[in-house]
Structures are given as structure tokens and as C-alpha cells.
């Protein structure tokens, strides 16, 4: 299994267009030991020929340009994206669907019924795409935890798992989410049996999640915030991580404590621009190094 990190940042990316927090201004000034990051997306493949786009970010066009494997140029209009999988209906994970409107066939989109209802309701990207390439919706049953395969990428099996988080701000279920508003995915390589758990929006650990995490060879886990209140403390916004459905890394029972007991390779992903771990000379980054936890970056490649 091959995994390419197209975008390792959270909503807004890094630097965020209107943000002058210490990280964003330090990156712009060239005084911070950090790399820029685009918004949250992966590409996953079995053989490297056909790819599953996992989340379609607002930065998708630039992400595709930076990844030649996704543009094999076999015909005048071509792509190696066989299908799209969307794990929640947040703006940072879905807006790139609009970038794919010139697709020459109906675009296969895997998502849960709750995500589909937001993307045909409060943020009707899928409805709008009907006037362009059209969408072939392939429902994901995360509540039933029904595994699925994608015909074009037949060496992989996907196991969906519901995650406690929040629905998007525009959703009628914002603070009362359905079980399948946010999901994680275990990607399993059928030949090697190796497993990668991807969960970029995770508010709380559940027993089924812990079981999957213990079996995973690689974890790509919500790295949005270091501290639950960092957006407020930095004067950047008035929301806590908890209100947004993201479990912070620090604190007792925070993400670092949860990861400590796991054997697999641990990678934080979906990192908000205020997070001190982005500064590679920070004590928080040093702590991750000590714990053997990696920070995803754009262009990171994982082979499992
Ligand atoms: C989130 O995961 O909470 C989002 O990144 C928010 C957003 O896209 O604005
Ligand atoms: Mn997000
Ligand atoms: Zn910032």
C-alpha cells in the first residue's frame, strides 16, 4: 500500500491567509523552522497506478500539480484518481470536489449517508456537481462497520469506523452529530495484511477505536491542536478544540497519552496553524521526537 500526504494542515492551511499568529507570521517572515502545509488530504493506492483521493481539500488543484503520479497523461483528459472518499463534510475535506468538475465520467464518491446529506443539503457540492461531471455516490456504512473495496484499487480493503467528533458548523447536527458524521478509515493491504488507521477528526477515543489502533501498523491521527484552548489563548478564534471535535495532544488523556500505549508508527496529521509542533525548534516538537511520534508534512510518502 502506498500513501501520499497531499495536505497535512487543518482547515485554513499553514500559513492561513488572514492569520498573524506566531507560527503564521514566523513562517511568512522566514524566521520559523517550519514548512508550509496545505489542507487535509491523502492519496492511497495498492500498486501506484490508480489512486483513491481521501478528502478533497480546497488546495486540491495545487496538490495534484505537485504529485505527478496523479496525472499520468494517457489521453487528452486524464487522471489517476479512480474515486474519492470523504471522511467528514467539513469545508477542508470536501471543497476540492468542485476542482474535479471537469472529470470525464461520473465521479465515484464514497461517503456516509450523513456526509452525503450535508453535501446535498447545507453545503450542496454534490448537487452542484450534477450540472458538471455528476457524482456516483457509493454509500459507506460506518455505523454497521461494513468493509468495502473499490473496483479500480482491488488490492485494498477499507474498514470504516464511526468517530465521536462534531458535524460541520453549517450542519443541522453541528453539536448533536450522528454517529457517521465523522469517520475513520482502516486501509488494509490485502497482500501484506498491513493496516493504516486514518482519523483526522477525532474528539474522543472509544473502545472499538482503541482495538483498531492497537492492531494498526501505522496511525495517521488528528493532530489539530496541542492545547484545547490554544486558539483562544492566541487570540485567533473563540472555539476550543473540544467544541470543534478535535482532541488536543497535551493534557491527561490527551492524544499523546492515548498514542503512548500503541505499537504502530504514529503520525499526527490535520495540524492547525496555531499548533506549536509546527515549529521544529519548539519544546513541544522535541517532546514528540522523544515519544517517537511524527508530524506529517506535505509530500510525505508511506509504504506499508
Ligand atoms: C475542522 O476540522 O474543524 C475544520 O478544519 C474546520 C474548517 O475547515 O474550517
Ligand atoms: Mn478539518
Ligand atoms: Zn496562524
Q: What confidence score (pLDDT) does residue 116 get?
A: 99
Q: What confidence score (pLDDT) does residue 112 get?
A: 99
pLDDT tens across 250-261, in order?
Answer: 999 999 999 999
Q: What confidence score (pLDDT) does residue 57 get?
A: 98
Which atom of ligand 1 is least distant from the CA of 92?
8
DSSP strand pairing (218-222 vs 265-269) = parallel
Residue with cell 465523522: 182
d(Cα 90, Cα 95) in Å, to the nearest integer? 8
- How many residues are there in the chain? 304
Q: Where are the alpha helices (DSSP H) in the chain?
A: 22-29, 60-65, 91-94, 113-119, 125-129, 207-215, 230-233, 241-244, 255-260, 283-291
Q: Which residues pair with 217 in a beta bridge?
A: none
pLDDT tens across 19-28, in order?
Answer: 999 999 999 9
Q: What confidence score (pLDDT) does residue 33 get?
A: 98
Q: What confidence score (pLDDT) does residue 52 get?
A: 98
- Residues 48 and 2 sit within 8 Å (Cβ to Cβ): yes
Question: Which residue CA neighbors atom 7 of ligand 1 most closely?
Answer: 11
Q: Average pLDDT in the 80-105 region? A: 98
- Which residues are close to ligand 2, an ion, with C-beta < 5 A? 11, 90, 92
Which atom of ligand 1 is least distant from the CA of 224?
2
Q: What confidence score (pLDDT) does residue 46 get?
A: 98
Q: Could you give the angle at the alpha carbon of 87 between the alpha carbons of 284 and 265, nearest 5°?
A: 40
Q: Who's near 166: CB < 8 A, 6+ residues apart?
A: 174, 175, 177, 181, 182, 203, 243, 244, 245
Residue with cell 500539480: 65
Ligand 1 centre from 168 Cα, in Å?
A: 8
Ligand 1 centre from 199 Cα, in Å?
A: 14
Helix (H) or strand (E) holding 294: strand 293-295
Ligand 2 centre from 87 Cα, in Å?
A: 10
Q: What confidence score (pLDDT) does residue 107 get?
A: 98
Please name which ligand lies nearest the alpha carbon of 58: 1
Residue with cell 503520479: 69
d(Cα 36, Cα 153) in Å, to the nearest integer? 31
Which atom of ligand 1 is least distant from the CA of 93?
8
Q: Average pLDDT in the 156-173 region? A: 98
Please name which ligand lies nearest the alpha carbon of 22: 3
Mutate to test the pocket of ligand 1, among 90, 119, 164, 239 (most ligand atoms within 8 A of CB): 90
Q: What confidence score (pLDDT) does residue 297 get?
A: 98
Q: What confidence score (pLDDT) does residue 36 get?
A: 98
Question: Which residue CA neighbors atom 4 of ligand 1 most closely?
Answer: 11
| Share of residues in the chain with pLDDT > 70 (%) | 100
Mutate to test the pocket of ligand 1, among 8, 12, 123, 275 (most ligand atoms within 8 A of CB): 12
Question: Which residue CA neighbors atom 3 of ligand 1 most closely?
Answer: 244
Residue with cell 488536543: 248
pLDDT tens across 210-252, in order?
Answer: 999 999 999 999 999 999 999 999 999 999 999 999 999 999 9
Which atom of ligand 1 is least distant from the CA of 272?
5
The ligand 1 site (C-beta within 6 Å) comprises 10-11, 90-92, 201, 244
DSSP strand pairing (183-189 vs 195-199) = antiparallel
| Longest Cα–Cα distance in the chain | 54
Mutate to test the pocket of ligand 1, among 19, 55, 87, 92 (most ligand atoms within 8 A of CB): 92
d(Cα 224, Cα 182) in Å, to the nearest integer? 15
Mutate to test the pocket of ligand 1, among 13, 94, 244 (most ligand atoms within 8 A of CB): 244
Please name which ligand lies nearest the alpha carbon of 171: 1
Residue with cell 501505522: 218
| Share of residues in the chain with pLDDT > 90 (%) | 100
Domains of the chain, with CATH numbers?
A: 2-298 (3.60.15.10)
Q: How confident is the model at residue 5 (pLDDT cuts 50, 70, 90)?
A: very high
Ligand 1 centre from 193 Cα, in Å?
A: 32
Amino acid at each position: 500500500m502506498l500513501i501520499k500526504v497531499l495536505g497535512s494542515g487543518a482547515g485554513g492551511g499553514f500559513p492561513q491567509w488572514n492569520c498573524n499568529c506566531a507560527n503564521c507570521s514566523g513562517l511568512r517572515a522566514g524566521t520559523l523552522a517550519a514548512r508550509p502545509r496545505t489542507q487535509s488530504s491523502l492519496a492511497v493506492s495498492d500498486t501506484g497506478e490508480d489512486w483513491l483521493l481521501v478528502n478533497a481539500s480546497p488546495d486540491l488543484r495545487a496538490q495534484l500539480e505537485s504529485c505527478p503520479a496523479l496525472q499520468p497523461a494517457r489521453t487528452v483528459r486524464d487522471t489517476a484518481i479512480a474515486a474519492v472518499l470523504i471522511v467528514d463534510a467539513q469545508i477542508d475535506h470536501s471543497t476540492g470536489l468542485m476542482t474535479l468538475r471537469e472529470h470525464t465520467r461520473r465521479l465515484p464518491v464514497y461517503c456516509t449517508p450523513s456526509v452525503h446529506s450535508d453535501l446535498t443539503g447545507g453545503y450542496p457540492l454534490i448537487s452542484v456537481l450534477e450540472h458538471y461531471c455528476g457524482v456516483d455516490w457509493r454509500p459507506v456504512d460506518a455505523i454497521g462497520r461494513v468493509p468495502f473495496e473499490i473496483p479500480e484499487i482491488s488490492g485494498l480493503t477499507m474498514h470504516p469506523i464511526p468517530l465521536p467528533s462534531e458535524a460541520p458548523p453549517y450542519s443541522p447536527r453541528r453539536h448533536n452529530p450522528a454517529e457517521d458524521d465523522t469517520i475513520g478509515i482502516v486501509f488494509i493491504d490485502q497482500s501484506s495484511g498491513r493496516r493504516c488507521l486514518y482519523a483526522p477528526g477525532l474528539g474522543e477515543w472509544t473502545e472499538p477505536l482503541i482495538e483498531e489502533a492497537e492492531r494498526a501498523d501505522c496511525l495517521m491521527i488528528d493532530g489539530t491542536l496541542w492545547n484545547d484552548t490554544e486558539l483562544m489563548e492566541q487570540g485567533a478564534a473563540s472555539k476550543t478544540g473540544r467544541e470543534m471535535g478535535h482532541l488536543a495532544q497535551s493534557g491527561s488523556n490527551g492524544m499523546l497519552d492515548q498514542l503512548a500505549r500503541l505499537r504502530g508508527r504514529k503520525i499526527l496529521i490535520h495540524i492547525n496553524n496555531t499548533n506549536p509542533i509546527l515549529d521544529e525548534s519548539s519544546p513541544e516538537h522535541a517532546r514528540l521526537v522523544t515519544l517517537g511520534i511524527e508530524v506529517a508534512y506535505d509530500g510525505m510518502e508511506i509504504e506499508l
